[in-house]
Amino acid sequence: MPVFSLNVNVSLSDEKKTSLLKELSDVIGKLLAKPEKYMCIHINTDQAISFAGTTQPAGFAVLKSIGGVGTAKQNNAISDKVYPIITQHVGIPGDRLYIEFVSLGAADIAFEGHTFA
């Protein structure tokens, strides 16, 4: 049920993408206490993104989840772990990346043909 979508304006090799997908899935899943079975990580590279008026490496991400996000404490704990991963794998500094946190209701997302409600 957690979906993390990362959009960046840089290119990544297939090897880097695979490594980033695995690490984000593992770390975010553990932070949210969600089984890997439900984790969805989506990476869009080579996007047209301007941040602070320049096209230097930048990005934005959205984390949607039923529970585990929404409070300052939860969102800061996730940010503390996810920002360094993105900087390490993608080379985007923290001051050129936004992460939006979206708390979903159980009826707002479906899996295997049914919502989680």
Would you name the residues annotated as active-site residues? 2
Rounded alpha-carbon distances, angstroms, from residue 87 to 35, 51, 55, 92: 25, 16, 16, 5
For residue 23, give the 3-state DSSP assignment. Answer: helix
Look up tokens 């993105």; give the residue: 86
Taking the C-alpha atoms of residue 65 and residue 109, their distance in angstroms, rounded to an integer, is 9
Nearest to 89 by CA among 48, 54, 57, 111: 57
- Partners of residue 6 on adjacent β-strands: 43, 61
